[in-house]
Amino acid sequence: MRQAARARIAFGGLLFEGNTLSPVRNGIATFRNNPFAAGSEIITRFAGTTTEPAGAISALEVAGAEAIPLLYTHGGAGGRVTEAAWKELSGEMLARLKAALPVDGVYLALHGAMLVEPHDDFNGDDPEGALLDQVRAIVGDAPIAVSLDMHAHVTMRMLAAADIIVGYQLYPHDDAHESGQRATGLMLRALAGKIRPRMGFCKLPMILQAQKQRTRGPTPMRELYWLARALESTGAVLSASYFPVQPWMDVEDLGVAGLAITDNDQAGADAAAVQLAEAFWARREAFEVATTSVAEAIRAGLARSDGFVVLADVGDCVGGGARGDSAVVLRALLAEAPGATAAVPVVDPEAAGIAHAAGEGAEITVALGNRSVPEYGAPVEVRATVRRLMDGDFTYAGGLMGGARASMGKSAWLSVGTIDVVVASNPTYEYGDEQFRAAGFDPRTRRFVVVKNPMNFQQAFAEASAMFILDAPGPTTSALAGIAIPRARGNRPFWPFQRDFTPEFAARPAARRG
Ligand SMILES: [Zn+2]
């Protein structure tokens, strides 16, 4: 038998979604409380999950390549990552890569919208681009493949450093595993000399609300999904990606983007990227959604006789960078719907600590929520019964962290009259109903279910009799035309702040040429 040298492929991931409307800094604990592993632990803990590294592991196994695990963590979302946490995480990733040399290729799962505290001569705005530059300096000409979240802020620096960039195809992000597979698979083909990847890229001065970015409903995003798959079905485009971008980021050159990869056909890649960008622009009004005032939504919910009603507190979305600590909807429920049942999540480590000190069955008086960012609301004082105390650990049932464990930290299920409040110490990404399940009840049995995400609830609570997108305050508001992102807007017309203009649909100059 021929004994061919196995390709040595280093892989890992460092994901976090930043939000400049949140002043909260996120340290190393933010990552440790979320999916996190280093070295061979990545394989033992994440193989077989629905995460990106699992996709890479399976692609490398099929190809008979040697998998060299570096570091993988998804810290969720928040304000900026602290300088210390960034240096620790990126430092470990790069140190492990150097120690693994020589490597034939690298695959990294990144979010693409991470933000770091400004430090040294680094303004903190494009840490992924800086990381990829360093990876390039270490591995020389070895192919570098990257998968990004669909809400990545894709930068020219990333495009210059990487050979292959693919985005999630689905929202909710149910294809993280497949994204890891696709990126790794393309990299292996490039390494084998079967393709010469060329990336085309087109970005527009616009941001979009999240609700109609669902890829499985009758939405404008579904049409982008179809377009991308049609482009790929010809075989001329190896990968077509769309990036509707994290909107709450005041960084330069923010915008919605299309990105296509071809085999050695720059003009073809450029044309496909422009086509994707044009498709976003043509549907810009179809992406818009109306919000409902909290009081109005509660009244409309009370008027219904069937099922349960979802109140989407989209301004306090942990997955978009908020703390999940708003008690604004809880306060409104207490005022507007006395006697109605409800399930409400609130992140509040102090209140969780008070509940744990009091013990199960105790009656406590506690101020709940809105401790971290006062301008988004004040704590609400309640009398509560401690129903259950938890360590807050749970496993995601699906999505980009499916099969991975995360921790709400010290947590409690409190009864505030007829309202069930799940109080957590740590904010955690909402995929489905994992946090409620961890507390021990099914929120669908209550009249109102409060969620703190802009879109995943449409899938997780599809059987709700009504859903309302609330006009509530927070760093992830859906009222985008009112947010302050002056650096992102720059000196140019920018959708939806300006509505009467036509952007230039031009591909950006091609970056790396292998
Ligand atoms: Zn996303």
pLDDT band at 372 (very low <50, low <70, confident <90, very high): confident
Mean pLDDT over 313-324 rounds to: 94
276 or 375, which is more confident: 276
What's the rounded Cα separation, in Å, for the pair 209 and 81? Answer: 24
Dig out the tokens for 273 from the structure.
Answer: 């990227």
What spacing in Å lies between the alpha carbon of 172 and ligand 1's midpoint?
A: 8
Question: What is residue 379's predicted lDDT score, i.e. its pLDDT?
Answer: 97
Rounded distance, CA 144 to CA 27, Å?
28
Distance 30 CA to ligand 1 centre (A): 18
What's the CA-to-centroid distance between 43 and ligand 1, angstroms? 24
Q: Which pLDDT does position 514 carry in this prediction?
A: 53
Q: How far is the CA of 173 from the centre of ligand 1 (A)?
A: 7
Mean pLDDT of 67-80: 96
Cα–ligand 1 centroid distance for 238 (angstroms):
22
- The Cα–Cα gap between 11 and 8 comes to 10
What's the CA-to-centroid distance between 102 and ligand 1, angstroms? 33
CA 347 / ligand 1 centre spacing (Å):
21
Measured in angstroms, how far is the CA atom of residue 2 from the centroid of ligand 1?
A: 44
Q: What pLDDT was estimated at residue 5?
A: 82
Q: Give distance in angstroms: CA of 326 to centre of ligand 1.
A: 21
Span from the CA of 504 to the centroid of ligand 1 (angstroms): 26
Ligand 1 center from residue 1 Cα (angstroms): 46
CA of 150 to the centre of ligand 1 (A): 5
Task: Provide mean pLDDT across the span 79-100.
Answer: 98
| pLDDT at res. 375 | 84
Cα separation, 282 vs 169, whole angstroms: 19
For the range 124-130, what are the long-range contacts, defined as Cβ-Cβ under 8 Å and sequence gap of 24 or more? Answer: 124/80, 124/86, 125/251, 125/252, 126/153, 126/155, 126/157, 126/158, 126/251, 127/81, 127/86, 127/90, 128/14, 128/155, 128/158, 129/155, 129/156, 129/157, 129/158, 129/161, 130/90, 130/157
Q: What would the pLDDT profile of 249-274 be if each residue is shown by its tens digit?
A: 999 999 999 999 999 999 999 999 99
Task: Confirm if 188 and 101 have CB atoms less than 8 A apart.
Answer: no
pLDDT of residue 1: 46
CA of 24 to the centre of ligand 1 (A): 20
Model pTM above 0.75 = yes
Does 321 score more than 80 pLDDT?
yes
- Mean residue pLDDT of the chain comes to 96
Structure confidence at residue 82 (pLDDT): 98
Mean pLDDT over residues 35-48, rounded?
96
List pLDDT tens digits, range 200-215: 999 999 999 999 999 9
By the 8 A CB rule, do 328 and 373 touch? no
Query: For residue 14, how far is its CA from the centre of ligand 1 (angstroms)?
Result: 14
Ligand 1 geometric centre to CA of 39 (Å): 26
Angle made by CA atoms 470, 390, 298, in degrees to the nearest 5: 20
β pairing state of 466-469 and 363-368? unpaired
pLDDT tens digits along 227-243: 999 999 999 999 999 99
| 281 has a pLDDT exceeding 70 | yes
- Give the distance (Å) from ligand 1 centre to CA of residue 250: 17
For residue 189, pLDDT beyond 80: yes
CA of 13 to the centre of ligand 1 (A): 15
C-alpha of residue 302 to centroid of ligand 1, in Å: 32
CA of 175 to the centre of ligand 1 (A): 11
Taking only the tens place, the pLDDT of each residue in 143-181 is: 999 999 999 999 999 999 999 999 999 999 999 999 999
